[in-house]
Amino acid sequence: MNKTQIMLTALVLVASRAYATGERIDTMKTYELQDVQVVSTRANQKTPMAFSTLDKEQIRKLNHGRDIPFLLSLTPSVTMTSDAGNGIGYTSIKVRGTDPSRINITANGIPVNDAESSLVFFVNMGDFMSSVKDVQIQRGVGTSTNGSAAFGATINMQTDAPSLLPYLNLNTSAGSYGTHKESLRFGSGLLADHWSFDGRLSNIGSNGYIERATSQLNSYFLQGAYTGENTLVKLLTFNGTEKTYMAWDYASKKQMEKYGRRYNPCGKYTDADGKTRFYDNQTDNYHQQNYQLIWTQLLGKGFNFNVGLHYTAGFGYYEQYKSHQALAAYGFKGSTLTADLIRRKYLRNDFFGGVYALNYKQGRWEASLGGAMNHYNGRHFGTLVSVINPTVTNYPDTEYYRNKAEKDENSVYGKLNYEVGKGLNAYVDLQYRHINYRIQNPDDKYSTAQTEGWRYDEHYNFFNPKAGLFWQINPNHALYGSWAISHREPVRNDFEGNPNPKPKAERMNDWELGYKYQGATFSGGVNFYHMTYKDQFVLTGEINANGEMLHQNVGSSYRQGIELQGAWKPLDWFRWDANATFSRNRAKDWTVQSDNKKPLNFGTTHLSFSPDVIFNNTFTFDYHGFAAALQSQYIGEQYMTNDNNRNLMLDGYFVSNLDLSYSFKLKSIKQVSMGATIYNLFSKKYFSNGYASATYDDNGRETSNETVYSPQAPINFLAHLSLTF
């Protein structure tokens, strides 16, 4: 019996006792208990920081099958990209120009980031947002949270509250490139005044805009909850199973001119007859299973606490056809042969631990004391499926490498928000993190690492203070200012190639100053930020042999900008939302080596993948069940390297989406909603990502370059239907 079956059995046993007599609980108390889960890691209206929150209804209007980054794309300072070109499969998000490995992501306050890469692979979380109550994006360092450090943002997701009334909801979508989504949500409502059960089953599939960039994503979410007068206990599990055809190698402009914008070089090889072919199983395959047990308790006199235990199990591999490989690198000792081969690279990992927080709110005081203890164990290994060479009949070992990594993290934080005077709040937040990261061999090359000790055994101790003031001048106007420090340890890729010197931990100072206005028909705000770094890891524009983007420490750098937000609702049926970011992102004394290994100092340069301008605009019309939304986004030009080389650029682009829907009720159906979304309405041809590198002579003149790009889909659509019973 596997872990999922055990949990389902436990839920059935709990359900069999659900009708025991009990005291009827207060509905408002249920919501209060649910919110306590994340109160210690969330910003509120008196927190002196920049943040945005999307509620269930806002998520629903956007959630037709695309991945999480695209649902958050209209929040300030966000850019996103999709390898398949249509927002399904491998997608990623950047905030304020910082890459995805610097964005802290939690679900119910529990870390979601992979402990080694610090990334979140949203492809393993298909349709997760259908089970999310709300999501908060804190820009900059944000409040102290659990898991990896936040250098650009914290994305804090809270899953659905226990259902109070029974429901059944069916969501379907279908559209361009064979894209489809089927999602069934259900809930028992409150049973015997205390018990409830909720679940979701989802299937998402797409052929992708890019050739062969298929995705098959299956997932579920199950939750059993007990709600008492002052107690909420939730046991939940969610999973994701994905199979995607690789599309992460991208294509050069020359290749696209010859073969078209949808060209995908992944899996390309030449057969025995000299014909060009593409390997049909050049795929990524992964299964991720999450378990969370969460206990929330109201203690009276302003005190409450919550404890969360978690376990995540992951296993998967990607299979590749590799041409002209030196067999000696795969364990064929003494061989001078090269051959085509098919290989698999596996990862099996376990991540478990606990998070906790004791919270107090009474009168002028709000305080939290919390932390986390987590352990990660990852096993990396690779096997040969076959060698395409008739002279090779015996393999020395089908497993050509195996290594492991372990990571322990312990953190504790204390937060205090105190009203020092009428409308004036002082905020202090102190965090300590200790990390021990051990790696055998991060290169994934033929080795005997499994019999060796740790190549790296690194210890990091970080103290991250934060402080600020929030002044509610009157009901309409508020000012805030804050200062914060954050540190972040290197990730696995930073240790590849046995670098000398070893990668350093990075440090950031984040200064924020903001103003908010709230009126009857208009609300708005402005936020200034200045983030200075020491030893920041920046994307170089290059990739490693696995197709993963590489970082490099840069001594001094900074990101500074202004974020503007506004919402105007002059009529009940019309609303206008807009936000804009104008920023300056620079590395100081950026140095590369010439063709002759001469150091070249390019001085102050643009940081890669950090546009100076981002603008989002949404017009929403809502009248008697009919809704229409015109969403537009402008992303300014982006350098793909840090060399100030304008030959290695992503041009700016402006895209718009149009969403139309109509909702009504039937006698036997609580709500019917049908509609369609047209993406990239004006069919803009643009690139949202890429890889690039260049070489230079001793005078700093470019001698060669290599660039590939990620094209995004032209005009495409999804029709959607939702039925709620």
The domain ranges of the chain are 3-724
Q: How far is 363 from 361, CA to CA, in rounded Å?
A: 7
Helix/strand number for the chain, H first, E second = 5, 38
Give strand pairing partners of 217.
204, 242
* Nearest residue to 409 via CA among 443, 439, 371: 371
pLDDT given at position 13: 37
**pTM, to two decimals:** 0.92
Beta carbons within 10 angstroms of residue 457's beta carbon:
11
Q: Would you put residue 159 in left (φ > 0), alpha (ψ -120 to 50) or beta?
A: beta
User: At which residue do the structure tokens 């050509």 appear?
Assistant: 400
Strand partners of residue 583: 561
* Other CB atoms within 10 Å distance of the CB of residue 624: 9
CA separation for the pair 312, 721 (Å, rounded):
33
* SS3 at position 416: strand
Give the C-alpha separation, 625 to 530, whole Å: 44
Residues of the chain with pLDDT under 70: 1-31, 37, 396-397, 448-451, 541-548
CATH architecture observed for domain 3-724: Beta Barrel (2.40)
pLDDT at 554: 84
Q: Which H or E run contains 419? A: strand 399-421
Q: Are 707 and 253 in contact (CB under 8 A)?
A: yes
Maximal C-alpha separation, the chain: 84
Residues present in the chain in total? 725
What does the DSSP 8-state code read for residue 47? S
Helix (H) or strand (E) holding 259: helix 253-259
What's the confidence (pLDDT) of residue 541?
A: 62
pLDDT at 29: 65
Tracing tokens 């949404």 back to the chain, one arrives at 618
Segments of 27-117 assigned E as strands: 51-54, 78-82, 91-95, 103-107, 110-111
Q: What residues pair up with 599 in beta bridges, in sequence order? A: 593
Environment class of residue 615 by beta-carbon count within 10 Å: exposed (0-12), middle (13-18) or buried (19+)? Answer: middle
Q: What is the pLDDT of residue 71?
A: 95
- CB within 8 A of 4, min separation 6: which ones? 237, 239, 289
- With CA atoms as reference, report the closest residue to 115 among 402, 316, 314: 314
Question: How many CB atoms sit inside 10 A of residue 500's CB?
Answer: 5
What CA–CA distance (Å, rounded) separates 315 from 313?
Answer: 7
Q: What are phi and psi of 30, to 5 degrees?
A: -60, -45
Instruction: Report the alpha-carbon distance of residue 339 to residue 322 in Å, rounded.
Output: 9
Q: How many CB atoms lie within 10 A of CB 655?
A: 21
Between CA 7 and CA 291 the distance in angstroms is 9
CB 58 within 8 A of CB 177: no
Quickly count: other Cβ atoms within 10 Å of residue 10's Cβ.
Answer: 12
Q: 223 near 197, Cβ under 8 Å?
A: yes
The whole-number pLDDT of residue 300 equals: 86
Contact 249, 547 (CB under 8 A): yes
CA distance 640 to 275: 34
Instruction: For Cα atoms 147, 551, 448, give the angle at the middle one, nearest 5 degrees.
Output: 85
User: Which pLDDT score is estimated for 148?
Assistant: 85
- What gap in Å lies between CA 60 and CA 74, rounded to an integer? 14
Q: Is the Cβ–Cβ distance between 216 and 244 less than 8 Å? A: yes
**What are 376's two structure tokens?**
């990660």
Give the integer Cα–Cα distance in Å for 425 and 415: 13
Contact 218, 126 (CB under 8 A): yes
pLDDT score recorded for residue 724: 96
Contact 310, 354 (CB under 8 A): yes
- Measure CA 308 to chain center: 21
Q: Which helix (H) or strand (E) holds 28?
A: helix 27-36
